[in-house]
Protein backbone atom coordinates (compact mmCIF):
# COMPACT_ATOMS: atom_id res chain seq x y z
CA UNK A 1 0.00 0.00 0.00
CA UNK A 2 2.76 2.34 0.93
CA UNK A 3 4.58 1.38 -2.24
CA UNK A 4 1.53 2.35 -4.41
CA UNK A 5 1.20 5.73 -2.75
CA UNK A 6 4.89 6.29 -3.19
CA UNK A 7 4.66 5.49 -6.90
CA UNK A 8 1.67 7.86 -7.40
CA UNK A 9 3.54 10.58 -5.61
CA UNK A 10 6.52 10.04 -7.87
CA UNK A 11 4.32 10.25 -11.00
CA UNK A 12 2.79 13.53 -9.86
CA UNK A 13 6.20 14.92 -9.10
CA UNK A 14 7.43 13.80 -12.52
CA UNK A 15 4.51 15.52 -14.24
CA UNK A 16 5.04 18.67 -12.24
CA UNK A 17 8.69 18.55 -13.25
CA UNK A 18 7.75 18.26 -16.94
CA UNK A 19 5.18 21.06 -16.69
CA UNK A 20 7.74 23.20 -14.92
CA UNK A 21 10.25 22.43 -17.60
CA UNK A 22 7.85 22.97 -20.53
CA UNK A 23 6.05 25.95 -19.09
CA UNK A 24 2.33 26.68 -18.79
CA UNK A 25 0.01 25.45 -21.55
CA UNK A 26 -0.57 28.25 -24.10
CA UNK A 27 -2.85 28.39 -27.16
CA UNK A 28 -2.00 30.60 -30.16
CA UNK A 29 -4.81 31.17 -32.69
CA UNK A 30 -2.58 33.35 -34.86
CA UNK A 31 -2.82 36.93 -36.06
CA UNK A 32 -6.00 38.65 -37.20
CA UNK A 33 -6.59 38.71 -40.96
CA UNK A 34 -8.44 40.77 -43.55
CA UNK A 35 -9.15 38.90 -46.78
CA UNK A 36 -10.97 39.45 -50.06
CA UNK A 37 -14.44 37.93 -50.43
CA UNK A 38 -14.11 34.30 -51.53
CA UNK A 39 -10.51 33.97 -50.33
CA UNK A 40 -9.31 31.75 -47.49
CA UNK A 41 -6.63 31.85 -44.81
CA UNK A 42 -4.89 29.27 -42.59
CA UNK A 43 -5.56 29.83 -38.88
CA UNK A 44 -3.24 29.13 -35.98
CA UNK A 45 0.14 30.53 -35.02
CA UNK A 46 3.45 28.95 -35.89
CA UNK A 47 2.98 26.85 -32.76
CA UNK A 48 -0.78 26.65 -32.03
CA UNK A 49 -0.07 24.93 -28.70
CA UNK A 50 2.95 25.09 -26.43
CA UNK A 51 3.82 24.23 -22.86
CA UNK A 52 1.86 21.74 -20.82
CA UNK A 53 2.18 18.05 -21.61
CA UNK A 54 1.65 16.59 -25.05
CA UNK A 55 -0.33 15.26 -26.82
CA UNK A 56 -2.63 18.20 -27.45
CA UNK A 57 -6.22 18.25 -28.70
CA UNK A 58 -7.62 21.20 -30.64
CA UNK A 59 -11.11 22.61 -30.95
CA UNK A 60 -12.08 25.62 -33.08
CA UNK A 61 -15.43 27.43 -32.85
CA UNK A 62 -17.64 28.39 -34.55
CA UNK A 63 -17.48 25.72 -37.24
CA UNK A 64 -18.97 28.03 -39.90
CA UNK A 65 -16.47 28.65 -42.70
CA UNK A 66 -13.85 26.19 -41.39
CA UNK A 67 -12.34 23.17 -43.15
CA UNK A 68 -12.03 21.39 -39.79
CA UNK A 69 -12.62 22.16 -36.11
CA UNK A 70 -10.11 19.65 -34.68
CA UNK A 71 -6.83 20.32 -36.49
CA UNK A 72 -4.09 22.70 -35.47
CA UNK A 73 -4.21 24.76 -38.67
CA UNK A 74 -7.70 24.75 -40.24
CA UNK A 75 -8.54 26.73 -43.37
CA UNK A 76 -11.04 29.56 -42.84
CA UNK A 77 -13.22 30.98 -45.61
CA UNK A 78 -15.90 33.07 -43.84
CA UNK A 79 -18.50 35.14 -45.69
CA UNK A 80 -18.72 37.72 -42.89
CA UNK A 81 -16.49 39.03 -40.15
CA UNK A 82 -15.94 36.03 -37.85
CA UNK A 83 -14.01 35.57 -34.63
CA UNK A 84 -12.72 32.00 -34.16
CA UNK A 85 -11.80 30.69 -30.72
CA UNK A 86 -9.12 27.98 -30.34
CA UNK A 87 -9.32 25.75 -27.26
CA UNK A 88 -6.26 23.57 -26.57
CA UNK A 89 -6.34 20.71 -24.06
CA UNK A 90 -3.15 18.87 -23.01
CA UNK A 91 -2.65 15.36 -21.60
CA UNK A 92 -3.40 16.57 -18.05
CA UNK A 93 -6.69 18.14 -19.17
CA UNK A 94 -5.25 21.58 -18.72
CA UNK A 95 -7.01 24.06 -21.00
CA UNK A 96 -5.90 27.24 -22.78
CA UNK A 97 -7.83 29.43 -25.25
CA UNK A 98 -7.05 32.12 -27.79
CA UNK A 99 -9.04 33.93 -30.52
CA UNK A 100 -8.44 35.27 -34.01
CA UNK A 101 -10.69 37.47 -36.18
CA UNK A 102 -11.03 37.13 -39.92
CA UNK A 103 -12.50 40.24 -41.55
CA UNK A 104 -13.43 40.79 -45.18
CA UNK A 105 -12.20 43.72 -47.21
CA UNK A 106 -14.70 46.54 -47.65
CA UNK A 107 -15.74 45.48 -51.15
CA UNK A 108 -17.69 42.67 -49.50
CA UNK A 109 -20.22 45.21 -48.18
CA UNK A 110 -20.73 46.95 -51.50
CA UNK A 111 -23.93 46.14 -53.45
CA UNK A 112 -26.35 47.63 -55.97
CA UNK A 113 -29.27 47.84 -53.52
CA UNK A 114 -32.71 46.25 -53.50
CA UNK A 115 -35.06 46.25 -56.49
CA UNK A 116 -37.52 49.15 -56.26
CA UNK A 117 -40.68 50.56 -57.87
CA UNK A 118 -40.88 54.26 -58.68
CA UNK A 119 -43.49 56.51 -60.28
CA UNK A 120 -43.43 57.87 -63.78
CA UNK A 121 -41.06 60.84 -63.97
CA UNK A 122 -39.69 59.80 -60.59
CA UNK A 123 -36.17 59.10 -59.40
CA UNK A 124 -34.33 56.89 -56.93
CA UNK A 125 -30.85 56.49 -55.47
CA UNK A 126 -29.03 53.30 -56.41
CA UNK A 127 -26.69 51.32 -54.14
CA UNK A 128 -26.79 50.49 -50.45
CA UNK A 129 -25.76 52.70 -47.55
CA UNK A 130 -22.46 50.78 -47.45
CA UNK A 131 -21.48 52.23 -50.82
CA UNK A 132 -19.17 55.06 -49.75
CA UNK A 133 -15.98 56.68 -50.91
CA UNK A 134 -12.62 56.42 -49.18
CA UNK A 135 -12.52 52.61 -48.81
CA UNK A 136 -10.43 51.76 -51.85
CA UNK A 137 -13.40 50.61 -53.93
CA UNK A 138 -13.96 51.83 -57.49
CA UNK A 139 -17.55 51.95 -58.79
CA UNK A 140 -18.91 51.70 -62.33
CA UNK A 141 -22.64 51.73 -63.20
CA UNK A 142 -24.38 50.85 -66.48
CA UNK A 143 -26.39 51.84 -68.43
CA UNK A 144 -25.28 55.39 -67.75
CA UNK A 145 -27.83 57.27 -69.84
CA UNK A 146 -30.40 57.79 -67.05
CA UNK A 147 -27.86 58.34 -64.25
CA UNK A 148 -26.53 61.65 -62.97
CA UNK A 149 -23.07 60.04 -62.58
CA UNK A 150 -21.91 56.52 -63.41
CA UNK A 151 -18.74 56.29 -61.26
CA UNK A 152 -20.03 57.32 -57.85
CA UNK A 153 -21.04 54.94 -55.05
CA UNK A 154 -24.73 55.95 -55.11
CA UNK A 155 -25.92 57.61 -58.33
CA UNK A 156 -29.41 59.05 -58.87
CA UNK A 157 -31.43 57.19 -61.52
CA UNK A 158 -34.29 58.76 -63.51
CA UNK A 159 -35.31 56.01 -65.93
CA UNK A 160 -38.24 56.51 -68.29
CA UNK A 161 -38.90 52.77 -68.42
CA UNK A 162 -38.17 49.75 -66.27
CA UNK A 163 -34.38 49.35 -66.21
CA UNK A 164 -31.88 46.91 -64.70
CA UNK A 165 -28.64 48.61 -63.65
CA UNK A 166 -25.33 46.77 -63.27
CA UNK A 167 -22.79 47.73 -60.62
CA UNK A 168 -19.18 46.68 -61.23
CA UNK A 169 -17.01 47.24 -58.14
CA UNK A 170 -13.25 46.72 -58.05
CA UNK A 171 -10.64 46.77 -55.30
CA UNK A 172 -6.90 46.09 -55.65
CA UNK A 173 -6.06 42.46 -54.94
CA UNK A 174 -9.67 41.25 -55.00
CA UNK A 175 -11.90 39.77 -57.64
CA UNK A 176 -14.32 42.09 -59.42
CA UNK A 177 -17.75 42.22 -57.75
CA UNK A 178 -20.86 42.53 -59.96
CA UNK A 179 -24.36 43.19 -58.64
CA UNK A 180 -27.72 44.24 -60.14
CA UNK A 181 -30.76 46.33 -59.26
CA UNK A 182 -34.01 46.66 -61.23
CA UNK A 183 -35.94 49.93 -61.10
CA UNK A 184 -39.53 49.29 -62.22
CA UNK A 185 -41.77 52.12 -63.43
CA UNK A 186 -45.34 52.30 -62.13
CA UNK A 187 -47.34 53.57 -65.09
CA UNK A 188 -50.40 55.59 -64.13
CA UNK A 189 -52.40 57.19 -66.94
CA UNK A 190 -54.92 59.63 -65.46
CA UNK A 191 -57.67 61.15 -67.56
CA UNK A 192 -60.26 63.71 -66.50
CA UNK A 193 -62.27 63.14 -69.68
CA UNK A 194 -63.02 65.39 -72.63
CA UNK A 195 -63.99 69.05 -72.49
CA UNK A 196 -67.72 69.57 -72.85
CA UNK A 197 -70.40 72.25 -73.10
CA UNK A 198 -73.64 72.62 -71.13
CA UNK A 199 -76.35 75.23 -70.74
CA UNK A 200 -76.40 77.32 -67.59
CA UNK A 201 -78.45 75.52 -64.97
CA UNK A 202 -77.59 72.02 -66.14
CA UNK A 203 -75.48 69.54 -64.22
CA UNK A 204 -73.06 67.11 -65.79
CA UNK A 205 -71.14 64.07 -64.56
CA UNK A 206 -67.36 64.18 -64.83
CA UNK A 207 -65.47 60.98 -65.62
CA UNK A 208 -61.96 60.39 -64.26
CA UNK A 209 -60.10 57.15 -64.93
CA UNK A 210 -56.72 55.61 -64.23
CA UNK A 211 -56.46 55.94 -60.45
CA UNK A 212 -57.83 54.45 -57.25
CA UNK A 213 -58.12 57.59 -55.07
CA UNK A 214 -59.32 60.89 -56.52
CA UNK A 215 -59.57 64.52 -55.50
CA UNK A 216 -61.31 67.17 -57.62
CA UNK A 217 -61.12 70.94 -57.41
CA UNK A 218 -62.50 73.56 -57.26
CA UNK A 219 -64.89 71.88 -54.86
CA UNK A 220 -67.80 74.37 -54.37
CA UNK A 221 -69.65 73.21 -57.49
CA UNK A 222 -68.88 69.49 -57.02
CA UNK A 223 -71.28 67.04 -55.44
CA UNK A 224 -68.39 64.83 -54.21
CA UNK A 225 -64.79 65.96 -54.59
CA UNK A 226 -63.47 62.45 -53.80
CA UNK A 227 -65.52 60.47 -56.33
CA UNK A 228 -64.19 59.43 -59.74
CA UNK A 229 -67.45 60.59 -61.36
CA UNK A 230 -68.87 63.58 -59.45
CA UNK A 231 -71.73 65.75 -60.67
CA UNK A 232 -70.84 69.41 -61.24
CA UNK A 233 -73.12 72.44 -61.41
CA UNK A 234 -71.00 75.30 -62.76
CA UNK A 235 -72.73 78.63 -63.36
CA UNK A 236 -69.82 79.88 -65.47
CA UNK A 237 -67.25 78.12 -67.65
CA UNK A 238 -65.00 76.21 -65.24
CA UNK A 239 -61.87 74.08 -65.53
CA UNK A 240 -61.86 71.18 -63.08
CA UNK A 241 -58.65 69.54 -61.93
CA UNK A 242 -58.36 65.97 -60.68
CA UNK A 243 -55.48 64.42 -58.77
CA UNK A 244 -55.51 60.62 -58.75
CA UNK A 245 -53.32 58.15 -56.88
CA UNK A 246 -52.66 54.43 -56.90
CA UNK A 247 -54.07 52.09 -54.24
CA UNK A 248 -50.89 52.39 -52.16
CA UNK A 249 -50.78 56.21 -52.52
CA UNK A 250 -47.26 55.72 -53.88
CA UNK A 251 -47.86 57.40 -57.23
CA UNK A 252 -50.20 60.07 -58.50
CA UNK A 253 -50.84 62.26 -61.50
CA UNK A 254 -53.22 65.05 -62.43
CA UNK A 255 -55.38 66.06 -65.37
CA UNK A 256 -58.04 68.68 -66.12
CA UNK A 257 -61.30 69.09 -68.01
CA UNK A 258 -63.16 72.27 -68.94
CA UNK A 259 -66.94 72.57 -68.78
CA UNK A 260 -68.06 75.42 -70.99
CA UNK A 261 -71.30 77.08 -69.82
CA UNK A 262 -73.64 78.80 -72.26
CA UNK A 263 -75.60 81.55 -70.53
CA UNK A 264 -79.39 81.12 -70.36
CA UNK A 265 -82.42 81.31 -68.08
CA UNK A 266 -84.00 77.92 -68.80
CA UNK A 267 -85.07 76.04 -65.66
CA UNK A 268 -83.94 72.41 -65.37
CA UNK A 269 -85.83 69.99 -63.14
CA UNK A 270 -83.94 66.92 -61.95
CA UNK A 271 -86.21 63.98 -61.32
CA UNK A 272 -84.50 62.21 -58.38
CA UNK A 273 -82.64 62.98 -55.17
CA UNK A 274 -81.35 60.90 -52.25
CA UNK A 275 -81.93 62.53 -48.85
CA UNK A 276 -79.83 60.12 -46.78
CA UNK A 277 -77.57 62.59 -44.99
CA UNK A 278 -74.36 61.91 -46.93
CA UNK A 279 -74.21 65.49 -48.28
CA UNK A 280 -74.48 64.14 -51.82
CA UNK A 281 -77.72 64.89 -53.69
CA UNK A 282 -79.51 65.31 -50.35
CA UNK A 283 -81.89 68.03 -51.60
CA UNK A 284 -83.93 68.46 -54.74
CA UNK A 285 -82.00 70.51 -57.27
CA UNK A 286 -83.63 72.74 -59.87
CA UNK A 287 -81.14 74.37 -62.19
CA UNK A 288 -81.35 78.18 -62.56
CA UNK A 289 -84.12 78.46 -59.98
CA UNK A 290 -82.06 81.17 -58.27
CA UNK A 291 -82.90 83.44 -61.22
CA UNK A 292 -86.57 83.39 -60.17
CA UNK A 293 -86.68 84.50 -56.52
CA UNK A 294 -90.47 84.99 -56.64
CA UNK A 295 -91.17 81.34 -57.46
CA UNK A 296 -93.64 79.14 -55.62
CA UNK A 297 -93.18 75.37 -55.33
CA UNK A 298 -95.87 72.87 -54.33
CA UNK A 299 -95.28 69.09 -53.95
CA UNK A 300 -98.06 66.48 -53.64
CA UNK A 301 -98.05 62.77 -52.86
CA UNK A 302 -99.88 60.25 -55.07
CA UNK A 303 -103.06 60.84 -53.05
CA UNK A 304 -103.03 64.51 -53.94
CA UNK A 305 -102.05 65.65 -50.45
CA UNK A 306 -99.75 68.66 -50.23
CA UNK A 307 -96.50 67.57 -48.56
CA UNK A 308 -94.28 70.56 -49.26
CA UNK A 309 -94.79 74.20 -50.18
CA UNK A 310 -92.32 77.03 -50.34
CA UNK A 311 -92.15 80.52 -51.80
CA UNK A 312 -88.74 81.47 -53.14
CA UNK A 313 -87.58 77.85 -53.35
CA UNK A 314 -83.74 77.66 -53.38
CA UNK A 315 -82.95 73.93 -53.73
CA UNK A 316 -83.44 73.19 -50.04
CA UNK A 317 -86.17 70.52 -49.90
CA UNK A 318 -84.71 67.50 -48.08
CA UNK A 319 -87.63 65.10 -48.55
CA UNK A 320 -89.38 65.93 -45.31
CA UNK A 321 -93.00 66.92 -44.68
CA UNK A 322 -94.15 68.55 -41.45
CA UNK A 323 -90.88 67.54 -39.77
CA UNK A 324 -91.11 63.89 -40.84
CA UNK A 325 -89.14 61.99 -43.47
CA UNK A 326 -91.26 61.08 -46.46
CA UNK A 327 -91.07 57.52 -47.79
CA UNK A 328 -89.20 56.68 -50.96
CA UNK A 329 -91.74 57.30 -53.71
CA UNK A 330 -92.61 59.46 -56.70
CA UNK A 331 -94.18 62.84 -55.96
CA UNK A 332 -95.84 65.45 -58.16
CA UNK A 333 -94.81 69.09 -58.29
CA UNK A 334 -96.14 72.39 -59.57
CA UNK A 335 -93.64 75.21 -59.99
CA UNK A 336 -94.81 78.78 -60.65
CA UNK A 337 -91.74 80.85 -61.54
CA UNK A 338 -93.49 84.08 -60.58
CA UNK A 339 -92.08 85.88 -63.59
CA UNK A 340 -93.70 88.33 -65.99
CA UNK A 341 -94.41 85.54 -68.49
CA UNK A 342 -96.34 83.52 -65.92
CA UNK A 343 -94.25 80.39 -66.60
CA UNK A 344 -95.55 77.34 -64.75
CA UNK A 345 -94.12 73.80 -64.79
CA UNK A 346 -95.39 70.51 -63.45
CA UNK A 347 -93.96 67.00 -63.37
CA UNK A 348 -92.69 64.29 -61.04
CA UNK A 349 -89.71 63.90 -58.70
CA UNK A 350 -88.66 60.67 -56.98
CA UNK A 351 -87.17 60.29 -53.54
CA UNK A 352 -84.65 57.41 -53.56
CA UNK A 353 -83.42 55.82 -50.35
Residue 122 in this model has a pLDDT that exceeds 90: yes
User: pLDDT tens-digit profile of 149-174?
Assistant: 999 999 999 999 999 999 999 999 99
pLDDT confidence of 41, banded at 50, 70, 90? very high
**Residue 247, SS3 per DSSP:** coil
pLDDT confidence of 21, banded at 50, 70, 90? low
**Residue 8, SS3 per DSSP:** helix
Kindly give, in sequence order, each residue whose CB lies less than 8 Å from that of residue 52, ignoring residues fewer than 6 positions away.
19, 22, 23, 24, 25, 26, 88, 90, 91, 92, 94, 96
**Which pTM value belongs to this model?**
0.67
Torsion, Cα of 17, 22, 27, 31 (10° steps):
160
Kindly give, in sequence order, each residue whose CB lies less than 8 Å from that of residue 353, ignoring residues fewer than 6 positions away.
274, 275, 276, 327, 328
Any idea which fold 268-351 has? Immunoglobulin-like (2.60.40)
Any idea which fold 18-104 has? Immunoglobulin-like (2.60.40)
> Is there a cis peptide before residue 181, judged by omega within 30 degrees of 0?
no
Average pLDDT over every residue of 219-236: 91
CA angle 130, 135, 138 (to 5 degrees): 85
For the beta carbon of residue 300, count every other beta carbon within 10 angstroms. Answer: 16
Q: H/E element holding 224? A: none
The pLDDT of residue 279: 83
The pLDDT of residue 223: 86
Average pLDDT over every residue of 258-271: 96
Domain boundaries in the chain?
Answer: 18-104, 108-186, 196-262, 268-351
Q: 108-186 — its CATH code?
A: 2.60.40.10
For 196-262, the fitting CATH number among 3.40.50.2300, 2.60.34.10, 2.60.40.10, 3.40.50.300 is 2.60.40.10
CB-neighbour burial class of residue 170 (10 A; exposed 0-12, middle 13-18, buried 19+)? middle
d(CA 159, CA 149): 13
User: pLDDT tens-digit profile of 56-79?
Assistant: 999 999 999 999 999 999 999 999
d(CA 231, CA 306): 30
Amino acid sequence: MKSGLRNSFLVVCFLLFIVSANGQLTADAGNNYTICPGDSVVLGGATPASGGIMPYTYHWAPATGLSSTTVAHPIAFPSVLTTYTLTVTDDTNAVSTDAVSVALKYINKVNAGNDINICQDGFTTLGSNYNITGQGVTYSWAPAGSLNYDTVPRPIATPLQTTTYTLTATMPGCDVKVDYITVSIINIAISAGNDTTIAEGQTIELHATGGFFYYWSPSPSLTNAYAPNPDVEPVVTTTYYVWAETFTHQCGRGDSVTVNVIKGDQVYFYNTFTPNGDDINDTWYIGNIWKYPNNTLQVFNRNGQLVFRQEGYANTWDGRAFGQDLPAATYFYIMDLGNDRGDTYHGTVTIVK
